[in-house]
Amino acid sequence: MNDALAIAQALIRCPSVTPVDAGALGVLEDLLKAHGFTTHRVTFSEAGTHDIDNLYARLGAAAPHITFAGHTDVVPPGDEAAWSHGAFSGEVKDGYLYGRGAVDMKGGIACSVAAVLQYLADNGGKPRADGKGSISFLITGDEEAASINGTVKLLKWVADRGETFDHCVLGEPSNQQVMGDCIKIGRRGSQSGTLIVDGLQGHVAYPQRASNPVPDIARLIVAISDEPLDHGSAQFQPSNLEFVSVDVGNSALNVIPGQARATFNIRYNDLHTQASLRELVETRLANACGNRIKARIVWEPSNSNVFLTKPGAFTDLAVSAIEDVTGRRPELSTTGGTSDARFIASYCPVIEFGLLGQTMHQIDERASVKDIETLTKVYRGILDRYFG
């Protein structure tokens, strides 16, 4: 069970479809406890949400402190009959490990655990010979869903204990085409909202007695989204605002609706804060409405803020380890969706480096056994450099 492939198989065989744990955290807790880690199972709850079990395990009590973060919850498998190998079988076929979570991200967790255990075995069971240094694991079961009772609360729980992190490696699938091509050092923020245009309901044969919000919302959608929000920054691609639905809630063919709604999402870079972004969109709306159109935006709460780990000694260390194992110098990227790194970044510098993301969330999600071996070696190289 010190082997990354065996650990990954054991995790995959736990059908931990969010928010169910199905024993996945127990697999990790038992393994880490057997190798000297102090472990804590911490459950968080909130009204209207599922109770979520989380795991924090630490070896050592001194700085420098590196933590490996991840999540054991997975998305549903979809049509299990469509899988060529069982969605929770952990089967290896033709050099690939199959199963939900093989890529996102039980495989990454398995590699980090295996690398740490191998490192400790070669170094007398301690992070450093002088007794300094700490290694920990932050593992949640609440990443693929609401992300309310997981990493964000576990980080606070650790901080309330007086513990601090110096650096973090998150094993989300970061590589695009081949192992070693990409490290995530930041992510754009995410903000959603609903544009609401009020009209006056009436009969389509008597439009003079009504006010149709449909043409108005069409004009406002263009006014809000047609002009770029920005042109990108030194580390980030341009922000983008995308309308994803338009609805008037009207099934009748002879009724002018009284209201129209359009939902949108913005992925924004470090040229904006959440407040300045909202102000920019609200200003565009006000200018487009003039004194005639009655419209407003209802903003969704968001904890997906933009973050960036600036290139420096820690990213250089990771690049060196990756280049040494793969022969490739990875791109420092900020593309992609959100991850739990957005929470971790408030506590310490964090990078994301994991397996290839090409099959995550798909039928027949799978990870190359060779890539699992490569990622384990990279993590081991990071540890050697970090404590060396």
Q: Residue ranges of the alpha helices (H) in the chain?
A: 4-12, 24-33, 106-122, 151-160, 213-225, 274-289, 313-326, 341-344, 369-387
- Nearest to 98, CA basis, from 9, 7, 2, 6: 9
Q: Is 143 a catalytic residue?
A: yes
Structure tokens at 360: 């995550």
DSSP string, 213-231: HHHHHHHHHHHHHSS-S--
**Does residue 73 carry a catalytic annotation?**
yes
| Cross-strand partners of 140 | 71
CA nearest neighbour of 175 among 383, 386, 378? 378
Q: Which two tokens stand for residue 63?
A: 């700085």
Contact in structure between 116 and 3 (CB atoms under 8 Å): no
Give the C-alpha separation, 270 to 282, whole Å. Answer: 19
Q: Which of 104, 143, 340, 365 is catalytic?
A: 143
Radius of gyration of the chain (CA): 24
Which residue among the candidates 21, 53, 73, 172 is catalytic per the annotation? 73
Q: What is the DSSP string of 70-94?
A: EE--B-----GGG-SS-TTT--EET
Query: What residues are labeled active site?
Result: 73, 143
